[in-house]
Amino acid sequence: MYAPPPPTNGAGQVVNDRQGWVFGMSLGAGTMSFGDSNIDSLEGVAFDIHLGFMVSPQLALLVEGYGVSHLENEVSLTQSMGLVAGQFWLNPALWIKGGLGSGSRIADDGVRSEESQEGVAVMAAIGYEVLHSDRFAVDVQLRLGAVGYDNDYTVSQTAVTLGVNWY
């Protein structure tokens, strides 16, 4: 079964009919890079979840959680961000997103969990909806983020994810 085609106007152009609440999530592959340290980039699982509201058919305001988690030798290292974000559709399928908030790292070995101090987080993303209907979309995303900690230490993360969204 295929999703119905997106709504079009009289000229055959796709019309954005996004309205009301927005909920979505994505999952994929990501990396964490640790500024000027001697630690190589760590690969892991990238994730995001967001909830918000369509201000117009092209603009959503969102509360978003985004992170990358790396598991090695039974120890997980996760950097996560809590953000307020705006997502803008440049055309019916292509969108950009930016956000600002806070982030932290958590190291967990199954016995104890150690959390770093919080820092200022920024995030930017671009995505393309490969499948969409009037209330649902599947997209491919490129996500970039960074958290700056008090000691002038920055951890950045990059991810490619597959997302699902409901409008």
Amino acid at 54: M
CA distances (Å), origin 160, targets 17, 25, 58, 150: 26, 13, 23, 28
The predicted structure's pLDDT at residue 84: 98
Q: How many angstroms separate the CA atoms of 23 and 113, rounded?
A: 30
Domain 21-166, CATH number (from 2.60.120.10, 3.40.50.300, 2.40.160.20, 1.10.3720.10): 2.40.160.20
Mean pLDDT of the region 136-150: 94
What does the domain layout of the chain look like in residue ranges? 21-166
Using pLDDT thresholds of 50, 70 and 90, give the confidence band for residue 8: low
